[in-house]
Amino acid sequence: MSPTSTAPPFAVISGAQVHGVLDDRKKEVVELVEQAYRIHGEGDTVNPPSYFLRFPDRPSSRIIALPASIGGEVRVDGLKWISSFPENVAAGIPRASAVLILNDHETGYPLACLESSIISASRTAASAALAADRLTAGQERPRRIGFIGVGLIARYIHAYLAGTDWTFDSAGVFDLSAEHAEGFAGYLAGTDGVGEVTVHESAEALIRSSDLVVFATVAGAPHIHDPEWFSHNPLVLHVSLRDLAPEVVLAATNIVDDVEHSLKADTSLHLAEQQTGHRDFVDGTLYDVLTGAVTPAADRPVIFSPFGLGVLDLAVGKHVYDSVRAAGELAVVEDFFHEMRRYG
């Protein structure tokens, strides 16, 4: 760093600005996420374990810190601070809220604070769409999709699949809340490319009638135990990570985003590791699939379990920052850094 370097200006980027940059650019976001996975797979990232802040008086709630650093052409450091308060839904506000702090790669000074629930949902959905595309490469794409859990993430995953040219003959919906299931079914019925929409009375019925199953729940422990439900070998996007019992995991081909991250915090894969005492059931990472090092077998269910890497948030967030700055729309907080001389 040059001795004459100055601190960058600090900006606040609103959710409306984030939405304006990312909306209708889903293929571009998927490409950003793929680039981030490749940079991570090549070792040019720092992505330490996430830190979970939990509350004895609010056991269903948590706030998670995801620090990370990404190199390549992105070159930014930062932190996502994302909360999950499921009781918010009953109060009429979204379960999750988040901010993303971007830090200048050279000086370490924060560049910006971005509203990040949209960034987080977008990178999660883009990761799922990327995995669905690459894990079915060379095969006919699944024609029957099913959603277990129907919140914001499910909607974003559907939107990113649709935005990357996926269409379906049928769509299934299952949720513990009949009201939410009906609402999501209505949303799907109002979109193109999903065919007939069915609200199922059980998770089993949905899984058995779907070739692509999306888990986007807030489950804290496995509730799907029978591997036989997956005997037709569907592709499973296990985004919520804790829905499947170890016996389901062990009967499938398992692809993760990062082995160390995906096998901790009592995820389904972590439970499978505890039960077996090994990790041999993990067949590879999405980076392995992207580079051709791993090709999933077609005679087993394929489960993609992404823990969610902070480097993905940084890649998408930096793209938003650069786009807003290029448009001349950065809302800079003047004099945010006040004490800038060592001796006053």
Per-residue pLDDT, 344: 62
**Burial grade of 220 (CB within 10 A; 0-12, 13-18, 19 or more):** middle
Per-residue pLDDT, 5: 66
Per-residue pLDDT, 321: 98
Angle, alpha carbons 217-220-225 (nearest 5°):
80
Per cent of the chain over pLDDT 90 is: 91
- CB atoms < 10 A from the CB of 136, how many? 18
Tell whether the model's pLDDT for residue 155 goes beyond 70.
yes
Angle, alpha carbons 157-96-132 (nearest 5°):
20
User: For 285-323, how does the pLDDT look when each residue is reduced to its tens digit (9 = 90+)?
Assistant: 999 999 999 999 889 999 999 999 999 999 999 999 999
User: For 156-209, how does the pLDDT look when each residue is reduced to its tens digit (9 = 90+)?
Assistant: 999 999 999 999 999 999 999 999 999 999 999 999 999 999 999 999 999 999
Rounded (to 5) percent helix, strand, coil in the chain: 35, 25, 40
Distance CA 277, CA 157 (A): 33
* 82, 64 Cβ separation under 8 angstroms: yes
Per-residue pLDDT, 235: 98
Per-residue pLDDT, 6: 81
Q: For residue 342, name the pLDDT band (cuts at 50, 70, 90).
A: confident
Domain spanning 128-305: CATH 3.30.460.80 = no
Query: In CATH terms, are 11-119+310-332 and 128-305 the same topology?
Result: no
Tell whether the model's pLDDT for residue 270 goes beyond 60.
yes
Fold held by 11-119+310-332: ornithine cyclodeaminase, domain 1 (3.30.1780)
Per cent of the chain over pLDDT 70 is: 98
**Domain edges within the chain:** 11-119+310-332, 128-305
